[in-house]
Amino acid sequence: MKIISTIDELRDQLRGQLRTAFVPTMGNLHEGHLSLMRLARRHGDPVVASIFVNRLQFGPNEDFDKYPRTFQADVEKLEKEGVYVLFAPTEKDLYPEPQEYRVLPPNDLGNILEGEFRPAMFPGVCTVVTKLFSCVQPRVAVFGKKDYQQLMIIRNMARQLAMPTEIIGAETFRAEDGLALSSRNGYLNAEERAEAPFLYQTLNDVAEQTRGLQTDLVALEQEAMNRLAARGWKPDYVSIRKRMNLQAPTREEHLAGEPLVVLTAAKLGNTRLIDNLEI
């Protein structure tokens, strides 16, 4: 595996490649990330991964400085997966001058759910992904469904901006107890880690009641938040939305069988976890 930090060297290395499959990450790789590499290989060749902790998507009181950085271990894992190139730019490599041009998602998708609680996130994600796509010029790029709203925003962005990159969504990789794998899981202490699967249990409970055509979805959402709070969680939201655009369904749409997804974000101790489940 070739490790490259500069844009010029990356472009030289990939010149002439027409089937590149790309997996952007922020490092601290776990089995969920590695499953993305395997999926990428099924859709293209060579496989290119990136590791870059993107300051633009972190708010002023978020965990940019303490975000786990495990570069050498990440390199070893990617080598075992047969990744062709690891693009690992420094901030100076990717942002050699202040990044004054930004890519903004539409308000009706970018300012809800995660966008409401982390307003810097999606402008930062859209900007860095656009720049990484410009550097790598992949035919396909793989993103995990755990970040459901992010996947939708990136997919819509690529389509509307006519990017020559197909966006592939990968199913959420879970531990045996149901907890969605995340780099931030490493922040959990032993007691919190034992409690963490309750978030996924809550999603399953909400999904089951929604499939049963329980029509007061707002009440379902509030009941789920109350259950989390009663166990010591600090929920930001539990929200049932339409898969197509993440807007709230009407009662008529729900009863007509509109495909839905339930999404949640909640703090356990000092660790904020997100998850979702399609209904």
Residue in 102, 94, 91 with CA at minimum distance from that of residue 157: 102
86's enclosing H/E stretch is strand 85-87
- Dmax over CA atoms of the chain, in Å, equals 57
> Among this protein's residues, is 33 annotated catalytic?
yes
Cis amide prior to 46 (ω within 30 degrees)? yes
Closest CA to 243 of 155, 159, 160: 155
- Report the C-alpha gap between 174 and 172 in whole angstroms: 6
Pairing of strands 234-242, 260-268: antiparallel
Distance CA 60, CA 242 (A): 31
- From CA 187, how far away is CA 195, in angstroms rounded? 13
CA 71, 73, 78, 84: dihedral to nearest 10 degrees? 50
Residues involved in catalysis: 33
